Amino acid sequence: MDHIREIEIIVNIALQNLGGWLQSIMKIITMLGDEIFFILIMPAIYWCIDSAVGVRVGVMLLLGTGFNNIFKLLFRGPRPSWISDKVKAVVHESSFGLPSGHAMSAATVWGWLAVEFKQRWATISAIVVIFLIGFSRLVMGVHFLSDVLLGWLLGGLLVLAFAKWGKDISHWLKTLSCGAQVGLAFASSLLMILLALAARSIPIGWQMPEAWLTRAGEVNPLSPNGILTTAGTWFGMLAGFAWLRKLKGTLQSDGAFLQRLARLLSGLIGVLAIYLGLGQLFPNSGDLLSMLLRYLRYGLIGLWVSFLAPQLFERLKIAKIKPVAQQF
């Protein structure tokens, strides 16, 4: 494996030697694969374009992120700048490198949007964006080529799996009560956490090599924060969607441009209030209490997006919630 990385690192060095102009461009491109970008995109689709599509995009994003966290903990691959002084990490990353989270998220989210649109232009655009995001991670010096390739592969397989079985899962969910759907969302979020913790504990006593630590700086790749963020958001989003559908129906995401803009702005204010407000109040010491509170914080963000914000929109008369044929 070390010999393979020594060969792969030549790619990173060659791309970085092309000059700072390329790094500046790719620094912008790489943001299209950032987790925070997708966290903003998903509610924007849910609130302003199509609530059902928004939920499906959210499912793809969170599934991809969850699996990526688990695989990173299993493989524990270094980043190029951790093993070579010749590669500069243009952006700081604290998790393991294999597989690339940006490449995997790009493949799942942009790939699924292409499936939703079913238009040639959407497919071509998605392929271009997915490629550029993966390419940017090589230029940024934070991933090996194999990290990116595996991220693309796993993301693509997830899209294919959801395209094949997603409707069957949706039909099955319709047969369950609201309470059962909420319980299933909670149980599946716990399963994510348990799988990540299991991957984190194998092998017992593993420690990050000193050579990696020296170059990596302040990193904590074994931190459970990533999976707690994903699992909490997953539970809040899916539980909120099922609860709202049971009580009132689904959010109607159509309307005039100003209504959509008002929904987007007021909704994002709520997201930021929970994210920043609770971020200041809750401890981040790494103990059990802080982990539980992190799960709660992101669960509330998911609940706000799918359940609380739509009801605020209805009260403000900038959206309607209507009983419709149950869909997922």
Residue 17, pLDDT > 80, answer yes
Q: What percent of the chain has pLDDT over 90?
A: 66
Which residues, listed in sequence order, are joined to residue 321 by a DSSP beta bridge? 251
Q: What is the 3-state secondary structure (H, E, C) of the chain?
A: CHHHHHHHHHHHHHHHCCCHHHHHHHHHHHHHHCHHHHHHHHHHHHHHCCHHHHHHHHHHHHHHHHHHHHHHHHHCCCCHHHHCCCCCCCCCCCCCCCCCHHHHHHHHHHHHHHHHHCCHHHHHHHHHHHHHHHHHHHHCCCCCHHHHHHHHHHHHHHHHHHHHHHHHHHHHHHCCCHHHHHHHHHHHHHHHHHHHHHHHCCCCCCCCCHHHHHHHCCCCCCCCHHHHHHHHHHHHHHHHHHHHHHHCCEEECCCCHHHHHHHHHHHHHHHHHHHHHHHHHCCCCCCHHHHHHHHHHHHHHHHHHHHHHHHHHHHCCCCEEECCCCCC
Quote the Cα angle for 77-79-84, to 5°.
Answer: 120
Spatial distance between the Cα atoms of 139 and 145, rounded to a whole number of angstroms: 10
pLDDT in the model for residue 182: 96
Residue 324 has which token pair?
């419709």
Residue spans of the domains in the chain: they are 2-322
Name the band, by pLDDT with cuts 50, 70 and 90, for residue 2: low
Per-residue pLDDT tens digits for 227-255: 999 999 999 999 999 999 999 999 999 98
CA distance from start to end of the chain: 43
C-alpha 190, offset from chain centre? 17
Q: Are 151 and 71 within 8 A, CB to CB?
A: no
Mean pLDDT computed over every residue of the chain = 91
Quote the Cα angle for 176-182-186, to 5°.
Answer: 125
Per-residue pLDDT tens digits for 125-141: 999 999 999 999 999 99
Residue 146, pLDDT > 80, answer yes
Within a 10 A sphere around the Cβ of 192, how many other Cβ atoms?
23
Mean of pLDDT values over 210-220: 84
Q: Which of 157, 137, 162 is nearest to 148 (CA)?
A: 137
Mean of pLDDT values over 164-181: 90
Residue 72, pLDDT > 70, answer yes
Q: Which of 128, 14, 151, 129 is nearest to 72 (CA)?
A: 151
For tokens 């971020």, what's the residue? 279
Residue 3, pLDDT > 80, answer no
Residue 325, pLDDT > 70, answer no
Per-residue pLDDT tens digits for 265-289: 999 999 999 988 988 888 777 788 8
> Could you tell me the CA-to-CA distances from 65 to 37, 41, 283 in Å, in that order?
13, 15, 24
Residue 99, pLDDT > 80, answer yes
Residue of higher predicted confidence among 53 and 326: 53
